[in-house]
Amino acid sequence: MIDKVPTEAAIWLARIERGLQPHEGVALREWLQQPEHRDTIVNSAKLYHGPDVVAVLAELVPVGFGNPPPPLPRQPRTFAIVVAIGLAIFTALPFIGVRYLHFKRPPGTLPRDEQIYSTGARETQTIRLPDSSQAILNGQSQLYVLYAAWVREATVAHGEVLFDVTRKWPRPILIFAGGRHFEAPGGRFDLRVITPQRVELTVLEGSVTVKGLPYQRPATPQEARDFDPSVFVDATVGPMRSALLDQNTLTQHAITAADLRSQLRWESERVVYVSP
């Protein structure tokens, strides 16, 4: 049985780093109602994330992270009245001559899907995503996928995943891995999580944008010496290039077809096509 809580905690921490959307804040408060959820996300934040993330959690889970978060605000009476009126109108439709009612999904939306995929040692798994994209998991890997309406999100919790992303959808796929955020409108690329804060990106086709981190001033002389401002702006990694990323650095270099064949030896059932 897969323990979903650590993966869900990693996903929420990644969303806090990039900034919570209004609907995500409500969902996070609901998720934090469980003591196991609170303990897991707080421990992960203290180990792998900066003070800004811990401060956000301190507001949601006050008093030393020991007490449950404040209760969700009650919906005003006007909301209940609107719902009652809507139900009344819907119930009356057959009696006012409306015989058929069709609800169509807006164009460009995706069916909701939320799954966690895992592989064991020396095991690979090929996954067909809801938008016809494909993800291939290397051994000892875990991938969380969330598709909802116009949202395409994935999180590589650990291990290595080779993505083949379709370009037919208007919005790029957003991927979290190794404490970093990646965006890709389409293409083929590999993400390998080396440590919780270190990840390698290899692009075969298309391009991937590495999203910049929120700016934080160095707190110590050592941090000031290691600080690289280029890490905190978006960077694009093009085809046949590899990038190594951690909290403080982003380095790119070109790769060859021989490099790809060596790196993707585990993907034995597929042929790696490389543009000349």
Q: Are 110 and 169 in contact (CB under 8 A)?
A: yes
Give the H or E element holding residue 236: strand 235-237
- The answer to whether 158 and 139 are in contact (CB under 8 A) is no
Q: How far apart are the first and last CA of the chain?
A: 45
Q: Whole-prediction pTM value?
A: 0.59
Domain-wise residue ranges, the chain: 1-103, 110-263
DSSP code string of 44-85: HHHHHS-HHHHHHHHHHSTTTTTSPPPPPPPPPHHHHHHHHH
DSSP string, 101-164: ----PPTT-EEEEEEEEE--TT--EEEE-TTS-EEEE-TT-EEEEEEEETEEEEEEEEEEEEEE
Helix 51-60 / helix 4-18 crossing angle, nearest 10 deg: 110
Print pLDDT tens along the chain (276 aa): 446 787 778 788 777 766 777 677 778 888 888 888 888 888 877 766 666 677 777 777 654 444 444 444 554 555 566 556 666 655 554 544 433 333 344 555 666 778 899 999 989 999 999 888 999 999 999 999 988 766 788 999 999 999 999 988 878 999 999 888 899 999 999 999 999 889 999 999 999 999 876 445 566 777 677 666 666 688 999 999 999 998 778 899 999 999 988 888 887 544 444 443
User: What letter does residue 240 receive in the DSSP assignment?
Assistant: T
110-263: CATH, from 2.60.120.1440, 3.40.50.300, 3.90.1150.10, 1.10.10.10: 2.60.120.1440
